Amino acid sequence: MSDVYRLAFLDGLRPEADLTVSQWADQYRMLSSKASAEPGPWRTNRTPYLQEPMDALSSNSPIQRVVLMFAAQTGKTEAGSNWLGYVIAHAPGPMLCVQPTVEMAKRLSKQRLESMITETPVLSEKIAPSRSRDSGNTMFSKEFPGGMMLLTGANSATGLRSTPCRYIFCDEVDAFPLDVDGEGDPVSLAEKRATTFARRKILLTSTPTVKDFSRIESEYNRSDQRRFYVPCPACGVMQWLKWSQLKWQNNDASTAKYQCESCREQFSEINKPVMLRKGEWRATAPSDGKTAGFQLSGLYSPLGWLSWSDMVDEFLRAKGDAPMLKSYVNTRLAETWEEDYASKVDAAGLLERCEHYEPAVLPEEALALTVGVDVQGGGGSAGDRLAFSVWAWGRDEEGWLVAHQEIYGDPCRPEVWKQLDEVVLREWPHAAGGKLRPDVVAIDSGGHATAEVYQYARERGRQGVVAIKGSSQRGKPPIGKASKVDLNSSGKSLKRGATVYPVGGDTIKTTLFGRLKHNELGPGFLHFHMDTTGEYFEQLTAEKQALRFVKGFPVREWVKKPSARNEALDCLVYAYAALNLMYQRYDRRTIWDQLERRLEQPTAPLRSKKAAAAGPAFVNNW
């Protein structure tokens, strides 16, 4: 057979289309000793479940989009490589391969692709070694007769905007960014390259991530949702393998057996090869005739790769630790992880957690003091005022609410700022003796009285007062680099300009709500004193995370309950941002030691990261 096709190539004829990807791989594909645990000729019968997905990528299949939501160590990467080889050798055309990053595309090219080409003769015949000049073979582009393969990263809009391509391969799509260089979804950008081809093929693969935020899951849910059904060795009933059916005794992973859903017989994985060979993909949802979706867990991994005992062992080690368990669910079970993003911290629960400590005296463990100030004005329902919270911080960000108060009055008038002075300049007695003044006071400049906030921050810069502006964008640091502003919000130019720090409100809220949820004393725990009111906790818990769809993609967002007040939360967010500003200025590794020394030796100044650049704002606060 092979000679027939080779002759057809030599004749310049279009090859016959009836060879499938799995047939091509069985005939020609060599697994390299460098990149494979089982080097030598490829055998599809080792992983029978790969045949149908691979064959859907063959020229003679009507399927245009193939979606693989597969566990790690099931061979999905090799299935993709076989398709690449098939395209180069048998069905040439322009192809775009997208990895999550350009760096990963480079690795794919250098490690997997190069060795596959070198070790598979029908491929090395068609692609010149990359060493020779003008070979058409570079890191990011491989030329071959009748086609070309371009490699890029989903983080490069330029790479995705390349020439039209008949074949698109997006690998590990759950690791793709939501938006690339402001040009939108990288998968859609890549797929646009193929729209002009009637016989296009698109392959999307990934292990899934978080439920409702997983690209591969949403693609799979829109497909015919195929599952791999295998027969029970005892009763023969066809079923797809589920983690809940795997049984073991007394935390002993070596006893792992699978329990048939029908006859309840338990069998060991020695039966796997026969079960896999007799297995078949069955659609569990209606098909559009063009999209085929496949889901496969590590339970199907062939004998000698990942055993059921390995999986139980890994599970037992991961089950107490959320990040490890998430990774297990994603990479081993090929299922999405359900995060309780919607769960809300409860005001009544927090009220019960209040402790007996004297709010006017800083607790013994307190090493730093920060203040967050929220500015309300413009005739809002609750009236013009400043709301502020004073927070004390100890090692590992254990926090104590010291005070939450309001200063009534129009923030556009100087009186309220005079009253705030009493907070900024106040010395709080410390349980260990001595006194502490606020290290950083962060005031929101994004709401009302922007010019007044700027002016106050300038005047009180030496006392640690800074102007901040909240950002609801995800993934921003708690506090960013300061920028100079010359105009106020209404476009009036400012006399001397102002320095404003961006605050990653979304990031901070996610961090703090995680901490409010856990009830164990120690690192990150937030303490509230007995005088804290129910109204304070209502405000603190006025927001929750919700799902919103942007360009069809779900994003998590903090939303406020309608008409609820949330100043207590804002004040905590700003006070926490203020603490993070101290990390910018002092060495984060030693800051707590330094702060501890400051308590013992009130005259010793803190060592700043850049002593000169830090400016006079952080003179000793005693």
Residue 232 CB, nearest distance to Zn ion (Å)? 3
Q: What is the distance between the alpha carbons of residues 312 and 399, in angstroms, rounded to a whole number? A: 39
Residue nearer to Zn ion on the CB measure, 264 or 495: 264
Exactly one of 194, 232, 453, 581 binds Zn ion (CB under 5 A); that residue is 232
Among 223-231, 244-252, 255-263, 587-595, which window interacts with Zn ion (CB under 5 A)? 255-263
Residue nearer to Zn ion on the CB measure, 162 or 271: 271
Footprint of Zn ion on 524-543 (CB under 5 A): none
Among 6-14, 17-25, 220-228, 256-264, which window interacts with Zn ion (CB under 5 A)? 256-264
Among 91-99, 229-237, 243-251, 364-372, which window interacts with Zn ion (CB under 5 A)? 229-237
Residue nearer to Zn ion on the CB measure, 267 or 622: 267
Residue 271 CB, nearest distance to Zn ion (Å)? 11
Integer CA distances (angstroms), 461 to 410, 447, 488, 605, in order: 22, 20, 19, 17
SS3 state of residue 136: coil
CA atoms 150, 154, 159, 161: torsion sign: positive
Bridge partners, residue 65, by sequence = 202, 291
Exactly one of 21, 25, 84, 260 binds Zn ion (CB under 5 A); that residue is 260
Residue 477 CB, nearest distance to Zn ion (Å)? 54
Q: What is the distance between the alpha carbons of residues 302 and 270, in angstroms, rounded to a whole number? A: 10
> What radius of gyration do the chain's Cα atoms show?
31
* Using rule CB under 5 A, residue 235 touches Zn ion: yes
Among 54-62, 224-232, 492-500, 610-618, which window interacts with Zn ion (CB under 5 A)? 224-232
Q: What is the distance between the alpha carbons of residues 141 and 147, in angstroms, rounded to a whole number? A: 11
Q: What is the distance between the alpha carbons of residues 386 and 376, in angstroms, rounded to a whole number? A: 6
CB atoms under 10 Å from CB of 535, counted, come to 12
CB 260 within 8 A of CB 81: no
Run of H or E residues at 328:
helix 322-331
Among 232-240, 320-328, 357-365, 438-446, which window interacts with Zn ion (CB under 5 A)? 232-240
Footprint of Zn ion on 482-521 (CB under 5 A): none
Residue nearer to Zn ion on the CB measure, 265 or 396: 265
Integer CA distances (angstroms), 104 to 116, 151, 208, in order: 17, 10, 18
Residue nearer to Zn ion on the CB measure, 129 or 236: 236
Exactly one of 263, 342, 348, 521 binds Zn ion (CB under 5 A); that residue is 263
At 488, the amino acid letter reads N
Footprint of Zn ion on 373-432 (CB under 5 A): none
CB 225 within 8 A of CB 283: yes
Q: What is the distance between the alpha carbons of residues 256 and 259, in angstroms, rounded to a whole number? A: 10
* Using rule CB under 5 A, residue 262 touches Zn ion: yes
Q: What is the distance between the alpha carbons of residues 85 and 171, in angstroms, rounded to a whole number? A: 16
Greatest extent of the chain over all pairs of C-alpha atoms, in Å: 93
Residue nearer to Zn ion on the CB measure, 235 or 530: 235
* Using rule CB under 5 A, residue 234 touches Zn ion: yes
Residue 234 CB, nearest distance to Zn ion (Å)? 4
Among 175-183, 225-233, 294-302, 379-387, which window interacts with Zn ion (CB under 5 A)? 225-233
CB atoms under 10 Å from CB of 222, counted, come to 14
CB atoms under 10 Å from CB of 196, counted, come to 10
Residue 309 CB, nearest distance to Zn ion (Å)? 21
Residue 231 CB, nearest distance to Zn ion (Å)? 8
Residue nearer to Zn ion on the CB measure, 67 or 232: 232
Residues that bind Zn ion (CB under 5 A): 232, 234-235, 260, 262-263
